Structure 1
Amino acid sequence: MSSKSSNLEEFHATQAPTDRPSKRPRHLCSLGTGEVIHVLAYTARFDKINEFEFVVQGLARCLYTMESAVTDVRVCHPCCGEVVFIVTFVSKAALSRFCTGPQKTFEEQLEGLISTGDDGKKPSFQRSGTMMPAAHTLDSLLDFLKANVKGDDHTAHDVRTVSKEIERWFPRPSEYEQYISVDPSNPTKYTRNVVHTDENMDVILMCWPAGCKSSIHDHDASSCWVTVVEGEVHEVQYQLPRLDRKFLEAEQKDPANAIGTCGQLKIVNTACLDTGGVTGTYANNDIGIHRVENRSDKLSCSLHIYAPPLRKMKIFDEEGNVHVHLATKSNPVDLGDECGGNECDGVCVLRKGIFDVDAWNKNRVK
């Protein structure tokens, strides 16, 4: 049995059913625009094809000229005697108005001309639903990050673009549960579990038992993206304080053991990240330093992307102390000496996509 499997079994064995959120309020389509697609298909009676064609031609023209509450209209004409209308509305409320208004009116025009439902009064097919977004799986998100997150420091990153792509990830438990673990020796401490690591970034799933929090820390030259996966966490941002000369000199001479004092820590922002609201945040040293807290009574999980990998950081406390913490490449840095992190040797193995989109786009599919 792998250490990863045993970690997960130990976690489930030590957690009561109520220690994890009972339901995930976010739905896949909530990541999209909220538009609603309405599909209507009609088939003419065999002896009414010409009359049917005349009416649907007029209906198509009306639909194509709709502007209010509509974002797209498509009319498919498979053959004479068949038509499919595909109308995209801005909201469910707009669709409801259409169904009780224009649709009811034009179906009266089709009465007796179509062959199905209620003596030729209803469509042969009708279906409506929210537009599904181009949401990421964990695999496709990692593919995007590997292709787009590169460079020696945070100034090399297109932060806005990367943040938007991370927001498009719809985390499913089947993707991330293998990375959930707790420290068997102290289940109240949070853990850091490696999802992916390379020369450009570390991707870490962090598990936050009820009531735990990280140290207050900076991110050296790195970008730090955080997105909540399960439950909720609070990010508390602080203004980067002034450092005394003793620390600055020590950091130059002996970075691994540098200690000193800093000015008062000032909170500049506190944000609640949860799966039903704002899900992500971003930090670098130009923005400030931060800590992450689980203020709830249930386990929370969050995905952290450190780019480049975070091998050096400063740890601060409210008493005005600061010290440097270093880590090796094989042991991604913990968020403070006190964190008690449980490092995992798990590396995500990417699966192939459903089909080869690149080959299709390059006209290589026959």
Structure 2
Amino acid sequence: MGVMTLEALVGLLREEPGGQPGLLAVGERLAGLVVEPSSLQPYLHFSRGRYTRNLVYRDARLEVLLNCWEAGAVSPIHDHDGQECWFSIQSGTFLLENYGLVSGGLEPGPARLGSPAVVGPVGAGYVDFRCPDAPIHRVVNQQGPAVSLHVYAGPVERCLVFDAKRQRCAMQQLRYHSVFGRPLSPPESAHPRIRV
């Protein structure tokens, strides 16, 4: 497993040729990588019973987040608004449930999902990739607290959240728990119980 600081990783991702992080380049950089734990410290913000989204870097073509997961935290079933997404586990153990879309689900409204393909348990160094052809998944933290690093090929400000039982999906605006290491303090009504 390779080790590098978070700052160094962001620098490498920003320098990708062609102005857009490439699938191969980002995947290769993240494969087996565990970011130097001390460089994660400013972005480690946990919240009881859930997970938090902590912005590390963002420009028009790249977004880097650190998600902090409490024990038992589960994401809703969601997509990534047409963006490529790399999910790199830094600590903890996760189950990943990947869903195929049977019908609907390209906009809010009816959506039928296939049975999930379960990956895991997986731990530190594992990298998952979501692309526009296979964007839908749910993440389950099996052992917490845990930390995951997310790289998006373009900022993701909203996504579709799926209700498999009701066979519907709805658009959800995404929020950060912290920005560049500084926790945000919006009113409690702006903190949904489930964050994507």
Task: Bin the TM-score by the shorter chain.
Answer: 0.7 to 0.9
The C-alpha deviation readout for 1:72-122, integer Å capped at 9, x for no partner, is xxxxxxxxxxxxxxxxxxxxxxxxxxxxxxxxxxxxxxxxxxxxxxxxxxx
Unaligned runs of 5+ in 1: 1-29, 32-134, 252-258, 327-332, 335-341, 349-366
Q: Which residue of 2 aligns with 1:176?
A: 40
Q: Which residue of 1 aligns with 2:120?
A: 271
CA distance in 2, matches of 1:239, 1:168: 26
Q: Which residue of 1 aligns with 2:110?
A: 261
Higher strand proportion: 2
Q: Which residue of 2 aligns with 1:211?
A: 72
Larger radius of gyration between Structure 1 and Structure 2: 1
Unaligned runs of 5+ in 2: 183-196
Structure 1 residue 145 corresponds to structure 2 residue 13: yes
Question: In structure 1, which of residues 178, 191, 199 is the aligned counterpart of residue 60 of structure 2?
Answer: 199
CA distance in 2, matches of 1:207, 1:283: 19
Secondary structure class of the residue paired with 1:142: helix
User: What is the deviation of 1:231?
Assistant: 1.5
Q: Which residue of 2 aligns with 1:166?
A: 30
User: What is the deviation of 1:157?
Assistant: 4.8
Q: TM-score, normalized by length of structure 2?
A: 0.81
Q: Which residue of 1 aligns with 2:97?
A: 236
Q: TM-score, normalized by length of structure 1?
A: 0.46
The C-alpha deviation readout for 1:7-54, integer Å capped at 9, x for no partner, is xxxxxxxxxxxxxxxxxxxxxxx44xxxxxxxxxxxxxxxxxxxxxxx
Amino acid of the structure 1 residue aligned with 2:142: R
Structure 1 residue 311 corresponds to structure 2 residue 157: yes
CA distance in 2, matches of 1:217, 1:284: 12
The C-alpha deviation readout for 1:104-150, integer Å capped at 9, x for no partner, is xxxxxxxxxxxxxxxxxxxxxxxxxxxxxxx4322221111111186
Question: With CA pairs under 8 Å and 6+ residues apart, which has the higher RCO, 1 or 2?
Answer: 2
Q: Which residue of 1 aligns with 2:84?
A: 223
User: What is the deviation of 1:347?
Assistant: 5.9
What RMSD in Å do the two structures reach over aligned CA positions? 2.4
Contact 2:45 2:177 in 1 (8 A): no
Structure 1 residue 343 corresponds to structure 2 residue 192: no
Contact 2:101 2:113 in 1 (8 A): no
Contact 1:224 1:306 in 2 (8 A): yes
The correspondence of residues 1-366 of structure 1 with structure 2, limited to 5 A, is 30-31=1-2, 135-148=3-16, 157-167=21-31, 169-183=33-47, 187-243=48-104, 251=107, 259-275=108-124, 279-296=126-143, 298-319=144-165, 320-326=167-173, 333-334=174-175, 343-346=177-180
Secondary structure class of the residue paired with 1:164: helix
CA distance in 2, matches of 1:294, 1:168: 19
User: What is the deviation of 1:223?
Assistant: 0.8
Same amino acid, percent of matched pairs: 27
Contact 2:85 2:153 in 1 (8 A): yes
Contact 1:224 1:282 in 2 (8 A): yes
Contact 2:100 2:115 in 1 (8 A): yes
CA distance in 2, matches of 1:266, 1:285: 19
